[in-house]
Amino acid sequence: MRDIAISAARQGGRILMRKFGRTLTVLHKGEVDLVTDADRAAEEAIVSVLRGTFPRHDILAEEKDYGRCQSTYRWIIDPLDGTTNFAHGFPWFAVSIALEVEGEVRLGVVYNPFHRELFVAEKGQGAFLNDVQLRVSACGDLGEALVATGFPYDRKHSPVNNYDHFVNFQQSAQACRRAGAASLDLAYVAAGRLDGYWEMKLKPWDVAAGKLLVEEAGGGVSDFDGNPFDIYGRECLASNGLIHGRMVEVLKAGRRP
């Protein structure tokens, strides 16, 4: 399953790179939520690879409803995480594929085709970047930490928009980054390139693979209150584990009454 997932991610990545920097058909799913012909073509290729080997497995993907086979195996797919970046020619995007078995994520693949970085994690087997094992950072002080976040698609209309948390972390951490691809933010926490990450109103295809990467690299993932993380929930907090409690404090302090 690991090899097939990697093959599917690479196939999706090849399609994205063929279309990157070229004229795209861009549609709006919402005011700031985009979809392109690259998203759809990559998803079709990924699903074709997975269904070609596992025809009875369920598939949950961003761009199309594939129905239910009532399988205990479910593939969770984001064919292009970072669509807005991609549409603008900003080279920060990824393919994300996870395998959920009986409600537990057992396999995660995040592939950045532009930088040719393949992040892979299997439950109980560790996390790897291009076959080099990953370990989260050793930063124990939020004041010295580099953290990342993102903002929800309804941020222009909803008061629950992450702006307050962003300001608070700008004051509490050494620096904050907002690059625009949740799966890569999580992969970077796993790789020790970021010390922490938080975001709200995400979808399971945004976080399923990255969640496993962080955990298998020795980090922690929870909701904003420090409770167990649910890939179908609305809050994601990931860290190296050492600054997790402090990040929870900052998020609780900024929570609206």
pLDDT for 148-171, tens place per residue?
999 987 777 788 889 999 999 999
Q: Cα(150)–Cα(46) distance, rounded to whole angstroms?
A: 26
| Predicted confidence (pLDDT) at residue 118 exceeds the cutoff of 90 | yes
3-state secondary structure of 74: strand
Token pair listed for 23: 């004229």
Q: What is the pLDDT, as a whole number, of residue 235? A: 97
Give ∠ CA 35-50-132 in degrees, rounded to 5. 90
CA atoms within 13 Å, Cβ hemisphere of 66: 23
Distance of CA 13 to the CA centre of its chain: 15
Tokens 């109103």 belong to residue:
201
pLDDT in tens, 222-249: 999 999 999 999 999 999 999 999 999 9
| Distance (Å, whole) CA 214 – CA 196 | 10
The answer to whether the pTM exceeds 0.75 is yes
Q: Given a cut of 80, is residue 27 above it in pLDDT?
A: no
Tokens of 249: 């404090």
Tell which residue, 48, 8, 183, has the closest CA to residue 110: 183
Q: How far is CA 128 from the centre of its chain?
A: 16
Mention every residue, 6+ apart, whose C-beta is less than 8 A from residue 48.
none
Instruction: Name all domains of the chain by residue range, CATH numbers in brackets.
Output: 2-133 (3.30.540.10), 142-254 (3.40.190.80)
CB 85 within 8 A of CB 183: no
β-strands 175-177, 34-36 pairing? unpaired
Rounded to the nearest integer, the mean pLDDT of the chain is 93
The contacts of residue 153 (CB under 8 Å, 6+ apart) are 30, 31, 32, 33, 201
Residue 36's pLDDT is what?
81
Residue with tokens 């991610």: 9
Q: Checking phi first, is residue 67 left (phi over 0); if not, alpha (psi -120 to 50) or beta?
A: left
Number of C-beta neighbours around residue 252 at 10 A: 11
For residue 43, the one-letter residue type is E
Say yes or no to pLDDT of 32 above 60.
no
Helix (H) or strand (E) holding 48: helix 37-53
